[in-house]
Amino acid sequence: MRYAFEKGGCLKFYSRAEDPAIVRDGDVFVYAGGVSKRIGEALRDMSEIHTYSGIELRRMMEKE
């Protein structure tokens, strides 16, 4: 949540049924586990988004 706040964004839990249409270039998708990682990879094929695991994002935040 801190990452989203600091970037002027928001946090939303992804819904396969509703959200593919609202993903935009520049969005960040944080995944936990293999299933959500594959969802992020599929979304990255459709839009220029950034995908990070929860641990990757945590490490990025610790460096800032």
* Coil vs helix vs strand at 53: strand
pLDDT confidence of residue 29 = 92
Spell out the per-residue pLDDT of the chain, length 64, in tens: 678 878 888 888 888 888 888 899 999 999 999 999 999 999 999 999 999 999 999 898 888 7
> What sign does the dihedral 19-21-37-57 (CA atoms) show?
negative
SS (H, E, C) 16-45: CCCCHHHCCCCCEEEECCHHHHHHHHHHHH
- Chain centroid offset of residue 17 CA: 17
* C-alpha 55, offset from chain centre: 12
